[in-house]
Amino acid sequence: MPKWALIFLVVGLVLGALGFGGVGGASVGVAKFLFFVAIAIFVVLLILGLVAGKKVKNAIH
């Protein structure tokens, strides 16, 4: 997902530089959305990994 956010960001910047402000702005908006979704998924999976790791560690000892 970060890959797609980067692609949309580059496309938006190129389109904005070429004068296609509406499409470029929309593309940058999609890039922002994808970036924040990727960050949210990362945080959720990080928390789940830490919780699961503690449960496994407690079960082993």
| DSSP-assigned letters across all residues of the chain | -HHHHHHHHHHHHHHHHTT-HHHHHHHHHHHHHHHHHHHHHHHHHHHHHHHHHHHHHHHH-
Reported as a single tens digit per residue, the pLDDT across 29-58 is 999 999 999 999 999 999 999 998 877 777
**Residue 23 confidence (pLDDT) above 90:** no
**Residue 3 confidence (pLDDT) above 70:** yes
The per-residue pLDDT for 61 is 66
pTM for this entry = 0.74
The per-residue pLDDT for 56 is 73
